[in-house]
């Protein structure tokens, strides 16, 4: 199975996951293998493969993903202490699932890469 289908199935609720938030544009759910106390993935409901596939037509979706990530951070009460929002792209960026997603990480002091 192409691994992007995993996220499509989560969005369509064909496989179970802990969905935190869903609307017509995005879905947010707990990462199956959390790297921090809070580790939530925010994905567009329409398929976008990687960050390279953001274009004039779908760029508003990305703004909404960002907005929702921050609303969730506030709701989870990690916004004041801080958090990371990460988007991995392709091989060198460490993208394993080829369905664009944001990682929202928080709840602890996170290591920084640079």
CB of 44 to ligand 5GP, least distance (A): 14
Q: Is 101 annotated as catalytic?
A: yes
**Burial of residue 99, with CB atoms counted within 10 A of its CB: 0-12 exposed, 13-18 middle, 19 or more buried:** buried
State the binding string over 12-31 for ligand 5GP (x if CB under 6 A, else -): -----x-----------xxx
Report the SS3 class of residue 54.
coil
Who contacts 97 (Cβ-Cβ below 8 Å, separation ≥6)?
Answer: 3, 4, 6, 7
Q: Which of 5, 76, 88, 107 binds ligand 5GP (CB under 6 A)?
A: 88
**Which residues form the interface with ligand 5GP (CB under 6 A)?**
6, 17, 29-33, 41, 88, 94-97
């Amino acid at each position: 199975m192409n691994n992007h289908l995993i996220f499509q199935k989560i969005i369509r609720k064909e496989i179970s996951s802990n969905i935190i938030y869903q609307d017509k544009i995005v879905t947010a759910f707990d990462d199956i293998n959390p790297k921090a106390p809070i580790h939530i993935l925010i994905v567009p409901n329409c398929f976008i493969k990687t960050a390279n596939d953001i274009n004039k037509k779908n760029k508003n979706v990305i703004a909404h993903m960002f907005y929702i990530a921050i609303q969730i951070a506030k709701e989870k009460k990690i916004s004041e202490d801080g958090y990371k929002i990460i988007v991995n792209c392709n091989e060198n960026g460490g993208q394993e699932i080829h369905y664009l997603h944001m990682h929202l990480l928080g709840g602890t002091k996170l290591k920084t890469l640079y």
